[in-house]
Amino acid sequence: MGTTGSKRYALALGLAGAATLSALTATAPATAAPAKAPARATCPQLSTSIKWYGHNRAKLQKMIDERGSCSGHHGPRPVAAFDWDNTVVKNDISDATLAWALRHDKLLRPADWRDTSPWLTEAADRALTKACGTDVPAGRPLPTAEKTACADEIMEIRGEARTMSGAEAFAGDWNHRRTVPEYAWVPQLFAGLRPATLTSYAKKARAENLAAPVGTEQTVGTHKLAGYIRYYDQQKDLIRTLKRAGFDVYIVSASAETVAEAWSSGVGVDAAHTIGVRSMVDGGRFTTGIRGCGDVKDGHGEAIPYIDGKRCWINQEIFKVKGAAAWRKQDPAHRIALGGGDADTDVTFVNDATGAHLAINRNKNELMCRGLDDADGRWVVNPMFIDPLPRKSGAYPCATEGYTRPDGSLGPVRRADGSIVPDQQDRIHG
């Protein structure tokens, strides 16, 4: 067994760029940028024609100047790492690829649905078996385009972790800061496909979603979901500028790595700098097995790039930290300079960054608690660049239940010194 193709990861870090984007940019009322020393002509600069919220462009430029090629620093290249979905692009590439596969009858029927995930419940197994049937031989394509019930069960389990009747789809024990079964389940649904085949499906979904007008919806079964994706101009420019300034730029996504690779090239990030859920391959085809991280052995998704899992994958693949140590926060020389994300799934690695923490506001509790608290003065919080959310009603419950513990229970968000972050009002929004 092996991973999806060979990968080489340099000790220095690099990250993904972003391709074409459109209008609908989230901006704040025009204010004067903070005074700063004029940059040297050779220092790569963020575009002044692309709008950011408030002083965020200036904050990011300051970090680039301090850590990049103009800093005069000699040593390993600084690293920037970005989440993908709703961070570099608007909307979700896993959803887009799965939706395309379901609308084109591209998923293969498993011999037993329980083989797709160790956490799949009997209720989910029964619902999938009933809805998708057993007439199609195992390993052959399911007719999900015409079997609305089958597509619906898959979409509901993927999106809500429950069946169409409302039964829990996953049960058992897992570390809630290292994985979530419904995220791992999407790559597992592609079992039986060859890597090149999944790449072709992802590229077709990419072309379809980039061509669709902003605001387009699609229907899969009876489920309605976004039918378009756009690369954010701001992130495309940021990644391009970081690379020109000597940063290694990486994408770290909870999507299937093969799918993420089909998109990351659009912002100038190659496969060697794209980290995602790594499905195992046997006989040239994907299995339901998923590579582990740190001291977590290969299995079925126990340690994917998710919350603390993203830290582990960054430490392991970029900084070459092995074993149990990969789960721990490293010294500043072995941490990223910039981290960018939009959700609690990204909060650990974004918080680990030593230069700037870029948080795209999608009203996610722990990320926004840390971003609005701004304990180290290096947080850069920005509304979504397309169709930003309005101000959240009520406060983020930082002091009581903003943090998800490994067992799934909720508790207070704490700073590095152990103090509790007070509840935060949403003051940076569309």
Closest of 263, 350, 276, 287 to residue 317, by C-alpha: 276
Q: Is the pLDDT of residue 33 over 50?
A: no
Could you tell me if residue 130 is inside a domain? Answer: yes
Number of domains in the chain: 1
- 167 within a domain of the structure (yes/no): yes
**Rounded Cα gap, residues 388 and 401, in angstroms:** 25
Q: How confident is the model at residue 382 (pLDDT cuts 50, 70, 90)?
A: very high
β pairing state of 89-90 and 230-231: antiparallel
* List of residues 6+ apart from 91 with CB closer than 8 A: 85, 209, 226, 228, 229, 230
383 falls within a domain: no
Residue 17 clears pLDDT 90, i.e. is over it: no
The answer to whether residue 265 is domain-embedded is no
Predicted confidence at residue 73, as pLDDT, reads 77
- Name the average pLDDT for the chain: 92
Taking the C-alpha atoms of residue 183 and residue 117, their distance in angstroms, rounded to an integer, is: 11
Query: What integer pLDDT is reported at residue 34 of this predicted model?
Result: 44
Residue 292 lies inside a defined structural domain of this protein: no
- The better pLDDT of the pair 2, 277 is held by 277
DSSP at 208: H
When pLDDT is cut at 50, 70 and 90, the band that residue 70 belongs to is confident
Secondary structure (3-state) at 223: strand
Cα separation of 371 and 392, whole Å?
Answer: 15
pLDDT in tens, 238-283: 999 999 999 999 999 999 999 999 999 999 999 999 999 999 999 9
What percentage of the chain reaches a pLDDT higher than 70?
90
Q: Taking 60 as the threshold, does the pLDDT of residue 2 lie above it?
A: no
Distance of alpha carbon 268 from its chain centroid, rounded?
17
135 backbone φψ class: left, alpha, beta (φ>0; ψ -120 to 50) = alpha
Q: Is there a domain that residue 303 lies in?
A: no
Stated pTM of the model: 0.90
Sorted by sequence, the CB contacts under 8 Å of residue 153 that are 6+ apart come out as: 124, 127, 128, 131, 132, 163, 164
Angle CA 67–271–187, to nearest 5: 120
User: With bands split at pLDDT 50, 70 and 90, how would you rate the model's confidence at 72?
Assistant: confident
Domain contains 160:
yes
Which residues share a beta bridge with 420?
Answer: 414
Tens of pLDDT, residues 319-373: 999 999 999 999 999 999 999 999 999 999 999 999 999 999 999 999 999 999 9
Over residues 134-175, the pLDDT tens digits come to 999 999 999 999 999 999 999 999 999 999 999 999 999 999
Q: With bands split at pLDDT 50, 70 and 90, how would you rate the model's confidence at 120?
A: very high
Q: Strand, helix or coil at 36?
A: coil
* Domain, as residue range, for 97: 93-192
Q: What is the arithmetic mean of pLDDT over 186-214?
A: 98
Sorting pLDDT into bands at 50, 70 and 90, what band is 10? very low
In a domain, 280, yes or no: no
